[in-house]
Structure 1
């Protein structure tokens, strides 16, 4: 079992990654490897916000940005910028495991936190959960989408009730329908389901876990939802969060349906139809737990390379620095969730990308490098930046995000998360083709990858933003090797203590990916174009509304996806 003690000598030795090697403009696999090994080490304690792990991580990133040649790009005070942007967050953590009891058709059964159920510490402003005999109602996928003529709540008064919902959206099983087929929409994300529960006035929301539609196993749910919860500080947190938020195992949901005179399969089939109506269940829930809540300050780490000609215009590279910290032990007793892949790899690319830009010719636009906090808690650091931008969204040409990169060597292809169409993707495809690499569309759009990383919060305010994904056709081992790795990672490493650095990893492919992303950013930074979203994109309107702020740039440079220039 690993300890969580931290010795100053160890920390000092670990951060001694060289910052003045001869590499200029190219990407060193050795450097990338060193960063991942450092940030994914036990010394950083899993990099959780508001812990000693955050202090070490912020210090490491600031020093690496400075050594790479960047200037501080964070909060502005008395005319000087800091290396960080302060991000106030509401932190909520149970003092001890909550007591949960399910009354099922007249029989009371205790439920164990992390086993049959995962109850999240409240982030609606409450300091305790005190729920007594709240009735459960099954509401299908929990979707209210007027633009698709879909309403899973049909006349339900949700006040005082706990809503039980399926994960993903109604098209997942059949692969076609009103929600774009297999590709998950935002309606399928657990974050949306909690938000909609709050809008309905519900006492709580329980999401039913299934591995395929969730795209991860129960271990990931348990590890992500039974530790400290965070949210940005909101004026009306109850408008976004019901008192009770949590997940339940599929087997428990099946028991609920059986006791109510139906079956899991029948309810799932009914939920796929537009005429679905809420189904009261013969079950009630008691939940009692006290939580310590406080407002803490976490930090986005920000460095900038000012542009030579148009410094007020920006290109932004992002990666989240946080992981899950110290949590429940795995079977071996390991409690440190190192996050070497997620997202030590993205951070390594970010640092070395900064070095490549700073050691090359100064670009025309400013290039910003931002490591954001609290991604694992719901994309909170990037959401805060989107609401409080250090650099105007209208004058940001694009965002390139890296979250989980490949460690299996070079690939013949590459991808991005989601299936959006936008000009930034056109540029990526062109630059990839120059290097003999092809673009492969997101191989698993049903997992909702577009909504699961920090580019999404920036896309919502209109900025063309993409999250790069490594290729799935490896030079060594092809598609079969990549698939086997991905399946093993999802099942045994993702959001688990086993996400640790391995000396067997091959960083040459990551170096090639970084070089490709450098070419994309350099093209944006030296150009005058303003990439946009496709005409049918839900993000197009926000981008178009900000066009007047770019009035100094000729209108002809507003390229549409597919237009070259």
Structure 2
């Protein structure tokens, strides 16, 4: 997952009626009819699926590896055994997902001249550069000037332009992570809630639009919401992207991250204090700062177009088979990469996201034994860790029409670290599907709390987002951190420890001693919201002020 698996609310802010968030604009929903009791879920079977999928045998479940073949075959076999129908291409279990795969060949040669001092850089230490995703077979940059461009944002609708017409052709941008409101908590970008302008993906796209030769994002743990280990492990292995007609419209030839200390050195040599530069970048009148430094980079790149796969299984609706409810989870992780301190090179991804895949399979088994009125699609998507690519491809090439998809429940680390009294979703979206989820949670004695870290931009970092962009009501479920034993304080402690010590690291491994006391409740809640939607005539929508409302309304004629 592109955000921390166990990142949950810091305080228990009870929402007594989440529907009130939507106001009078929200679509009226029928009162839920009495439903049969939820099935009992086999927690041991879920644990076993996680154990298998995160074993060394599956090699970290990297796309386009032997680990992918084992993973998708295992998922398809479990769907078949559960009694699902194949829902992929040409009657198969699989949806072909063409991707551009790029990898650095050998060790890159990287250096900067800072002032007059030649400074060699080590990949993964002071810097983490990605394989070029432009289709080129090498990167060869010689003494290119570095320019600090603040947050690297161009947002005309907010009257914001960090570039001020400066020509960046043949230059490398140095840019801060997150958006200008992060430090102060208020301003033109919605305060602590990260906008898309704060995402590193946006920084790369804007650098390409500006015609820059390269872009380096300055890493800081708090605004990034993860440590350097995550940056290093996520950026120094094989990269994937959707297949573009012209990849240079979305990528510069060199993309990467640098440590804060290196950025501070670059600015100091140019006569500027790092914190002062950040403060200046929070204001509309900020202007790019040419740095007294240049950079050189040389490395080979292997680039090819490959086919990865989403896995899709269907329970056909008994009354409205052409209408769909989707459960989704990403099956991929980071594969084999740089070794950790113990020499372990396999990024097993037990919680991220073997747990979500295991939950998907267990829900599929439950639905296969029922007769939902609407069809229910179980979708295991590829390349989430590379930028939500499998879900983005599905949203562009849906196996089931998006107009008649009633809602999406995504699962990325959906199983609680211990039994919790709350739950959450990624981000701060307002939609009827959240009202449904809250009402189902209350039946289990659990309450909704908002995302504790809206500044982390988690809404843009899970596989529900590509569907949301196209108007489909979609949420990514989080199981909460208000622990029944120890409350929020202990939940935060365990969450922070996971992010620090295991997230996107080889240490994210299956543990037979996990506390699974909350898993049945998590599964029951996930089942409850989907089952309610699958057996109703409700068409949930976004709030009137949502940026996704118009896209949903435009397809309204397709829904009866």
**TM-score, normalized by length of structure 1?**
0.91
Q: Distance in 1 between matches of 2:480 and 2:105?
A: 43
Q: 2:49 aligns with which of 18, 35, 44?
A: 35
Q: State the partner residue of 1:47.
A: 61
Q: Tell whether 2:294 aligns with 1:284.
A: yes
Q: Tell whether 2:557 aligns with 1:548.
A: yes
Q: Tell whether 2:89 aligns with 1:83.
A: no
Q: State the partner residue of 2:509.
A: 500
Q: Which portions of structure 1, spanning 4 or more consecutive aligned residues, are displaced by more than 6 angstroms?
A: none
Q: Distance in 2 between matches of 1:378 and 1:123?
A: 13
Q: Distance in 2 between matches of 1:515 and 1:442?
A: 21
Q: Distance in 2 between matches of 1:407 and 1:137?
A: 44
Q: Distance in 2 between matches of 1:42 and 1:482?
A: 29
Q: State the partner residue of 2:255.
A: 245
Q: Tell whether 2:361 aligns with 1:357.
A: no
Q: 1:451 aligns with which of 435, 450, 460?
A: 460
**Given that residues 266 and 292 in structure 2 are in contact (C-alpha distance below 8 angstroms), is that contact kept between their aligned partners in structure 1?**
yes
Q: Distance in 2 between matches of 1:532 and 1:331?
A: 48
User: Could you give the per-residue CA deviations for residues 130-179 of structure 1, whole angstroms, max 9, x where no partner exists?
Assistant: 11111111111111111111111111112111111000011111111111
Give the C-alpha shift of residue 511 in structure 1. Answer: 2.0
Q: How does 1:38-437 map to 2 (within 5 A)?
A: 38-75=52-89, 77=90, 81-360=91-370, 362-437=371-446
Q: Distance in 2 between matches of 1:50 and 1:24?
A: 38
**Given that residues 69 and 358 in structure 1 are in contact (C-alpha distance below 8 angstroms), is that contact kept between their aligned partners in structure 2?**
yes
Give the C-alpha shift of residue 478 in structure 1. Answer: 1.6
> SS of the counterpart of 1:192?
helix
Give the C-alpha shift of residue 508 in structure 1. Answer: 3.0
Question: Structure 1 residues 206, 192: CA separation in 2 closer, same or farther (over 3 Å shift)?
Answer: same
Q: State the partner residue of 2:494.
A: 485
**Given that residues 413 and 438 in structure 1 are in contact (C-alpha distance below 8 angstroms), is that contact kept between their aligned partners in structure 2?**
yes
**Given that residues 414 and 439 in structure 1 are in contact (C-alpha distance below 8 angstroms), is that contact kept between their aligned partners in structure 2?**
yes
Q: Distance in 2 between matches of 1:406 and 1:366?
A: 25
> SS of the counterpart of 1:322?
coil
> SS of the counterpart of 1:46?
helix
- Stretches of structure 2 that go unaligned for 5 or more consecutive residues are 1-36
Give the C-alpha shift of residue 407 in structure 1. Answer: 4.3
Give the C-alpha shift of residue 308 in structure 1. Answer: 0.9
User: Could you give the per-residue CA deviations for residues 464-513 of structure 1, whole angstroms, max 9, x where no partner exists?
Assistant: 11000011111122212211111111111000000001111122312211
Q: Distance in 2 between matches of 1:391 and 1:445?
A: 31
User: Could you give the per-residue CA deviations for residues 273-314 of structure 1, whole angstroms, max 9, x where no partner exists?
Assistant: 111111111111101111111111100000001111111110
Q: Distance in 2 between matches of 1:311 and 1:200?
A: 47
**Given that residues 138 and 301 in structure 2 are in contact (C-alpha distance below 8 angstroms), is that contact kept between their aligned partners in structure 1?**
yes
**Given that residues 342 and 404 in structure 1 are in contact (C-alpha distance below 8 angstroms), is that contact kept between their aligned partners in structure 2?**
yes
Relative contact order: is structure 1 or structure 2 higher (C-alpha 8 Å, sep ≥ 6)? 2
**Given that residues 423 and 533 in structure 1 are in contact (C-alpha distance below 8 angstroms), is that contact kept between their aligned partners in structure 2?**
yes
**Given that residues 346 and 405 in structure 1 are in contact (C-alpha distance below 8 angstroms), is that contact kept between their aligned partners in structure 2?**
yes
Give the C-alpha shift of residue 405 in structure 1. Answer: 2.6
**Given that residues 300 and 371 in structure 1 are in contact (C-alpha distance below 8 angstroms), is that contact kept between their aligned partners in structure 2?**
yes
**Given that residues 24 and 355 in structure 1 are in contact (C-alpha distance below 8 angstroms), is that contact kept between their aligned partners in structure 2?**
no
Q: State the partner residue of 2:27.
A: none
**Given that residues 32 and 511 in structure 1 are in contact (C-alpha distance below 8 angstroms), is that contact kept between their aligned partners in structure 2?**
no
> SS of the counterpart of 2:363?
helix
Q: Distance in 2 between matches of 1:239 and 1:408?
A: 42
> SS of the counterpart of 2:542?
coil
Q: State the partner residue of 2:30.
A: none
Give the C-alpha shift of residue 455 in structure 1. Answer: 0.5
- Stretches of structure 1 that go unaligned for 5 or more consecutive residues are 1-22, 554-565
Q: Distance in 2 between matches of 1:131 and 1:475?
A: 55
Q: Distance in 2 between matches of 1:440 and 1:148?
A: 30
Q: 1:25 aligns with which of 28, 31, 39?
A: 39
Give the C-alpha shift of residue 24 in structure 1. Answer: 8.8
Give the C-alpha shift of residue 35 in structure 1. Answer: 1.0
**TM-score, normalized by length of structure 2?**
0.92
Equivalences, count? 524
